[in-house]
Amino acid sequence: MYNVRTGYPGHEFQIREALDEVIGSQKAAFYWDKFLEYFFTEADATFYKSLGLNAIRIAFNYRHFEDDMNPRVLKPEGFKHLDRVVDICAKVGIYTILDFHAAAGGQNIDWHADNPTHVASFWVHKDFQDRAIWLWEELARHYKGNPWVAGYNILNEPTDPTHTRLQVWYDRCIKAIHAIDDEHIIFLDGNTFASDFSHFEGHLAERWPNCVYSVHDYSPFGFPASQEKYVGSDEQKAKVRRDYMDKSAWIRERGLPIWNGEFGPVYARKQYDGEPTEGINESRYLLLKDQLEVYDQEKISWSIWLYKDIGFQGMVYVGLDTPYMKRFEAFLLKKYTLAVDSWGADIKSIKHVHETIEKFITDAVPDPSHLELYPFPLWGVRKRVGRLVRNILLSEYLVREWAEHFRGLDEKALDELASSFKFENCVRRDGLNSVLREHHNISTNQ
């Protein structure tokens, strides 16, 4: 689960712990089980297929399969919802790609690895690495021979500051998986949030056989921080193409297979962005269309991010009139105003706070080279301040406030909240979906 995707602050493990405290572990387990059940059903798979899409990337957290206090012991319910979604997709002709999005210790320094710090401890403690390989061995045994599982995306957006430990881990993990299942494709993200392959060594077709290399091609034009509106000018189109070509250059030069594992703009919401909403979104749809044109020209496969959320990026999103959105309306506005989330945040209302802290740091560190901490230049001072102050410090103080919205609810009310995420209670983002349908030459009348 993502904070920006479902509305909670901070990190998944924090809100799970807080909900246990507020309503008890039994009721909390009931809510999460219903949430996962309703989040993706046969209706979702059917709609997804109607857009002309034939594969979906399923992100998962290690915590679904094991506990930190009971490592390397599969939870009895571990495969329950992953199996259910794989089977649902298979019924309508959709392949699934299993995406290890959050590993024990945090394989990257950001929130989406369910990492409560800005340190990727996965690369510091070998036992975290060993546990990830153990889990992939269990997954390989479980899905070996399943023709509708297209492959395994074995580690999402790693950030190894040494650039060497990732390669060693890839060596070990690929070998362990192939000892059990050598048929499924393995998808390998580059280091530094899938952006850097330049440190990979050797003859990789032999070193890592049956592997595909995954870039993540997010365009700066698709986010609120962009300094210009995307209008599809020749210069802007050239930049969109150049950005992808730069990210994939290392892979293309070596004749290795490429997959774009993530891309896609975020969208304005009228309740927050007001009158400019429609114009902003039309600009983002145009950007998406032009990105797809580049991928067609380069003949690569892709997986758009993402399918469903509460209105920021999904092909479908939870309706404002649902019990969940009504209950959390004021809280979500607060989160937006304070830019609590990292993904696509608009910091205009707290810019003065940010700039004060940034100036304090840059004044204290007069040598600019000392500010170039990994993963610079992807993360500069502003990004690091945002991660530490907003996404970690501020967000953890809001976790309990989020959980208190559930206090006193019985199972019937919890079920109603979770059911807000059912397909029939969601709104279709027609502009985005039309781009996908037109790209696949599918009639919009479907």
Residue 138: C-alpha distances to residues 104, 131, 135 (Å)? 15, 11, 5
How do 426-428 and 316-318 pair as beta strands?
Answer: antiparallel
Catalytic (active site) residue 21: no
CA 193 – CA 215 distance, rounded (Å) = 9
Judge whether 187 and 261 are in contact, CB under 8 Å: yes
Label residues 13-46 b or e (16+ Cβ within 10 Å = b). Answer: ebbbebbeebbeeebbebbbebbbbbbbbeebbe
Three-state SS for 197? coil
Q: What's the distance, CA 367 to chain centroid?
A: 35
- Catalytic option among 157, 183, 282, 358: 157
CA 127 – CA 405 distance, rounded (Å) = 37
- 200-203-209-210 Cα dihedral, nearest 10 degrees: 80
Overall size of the chain counted in residues = 446
Interhelix angle for 25-39 vs 411-419, to 10°? Answer: 30
Beta bridge partners of 258: 213
Catalytic (active site) residue 157: yes
Residue 243: C-alpha distances to residues 34, 238, 364 (Å)? 40, 9, 34
Strand order in the sheet with 426-428: 308-309, 316-318, 426-428
Residue 216: C-alpha distances to residues 157, 347, 361 (Å)? 9, 24, 31
Amino acid (one-letter) located at 191:
N
Copy the structure tokens of residue 353. Answer: 């706070």
- Catalytic option among 17, 235, 262, 275: 262
Copy the structure tokens of residue 72. Answer: 């390397």
CA 17 – CA 323 distance, rounded (Å) = 22
How many Cα atoms are found within 13 Å in the side-chain-facing hemisphere of 304? 26
Judge whether 212 and 258 are in contact, CB under 8 Å: yes
Copy the structure tokens of residue 135. Answer: 């889990």
- Residues with catalytic function: 157, 262
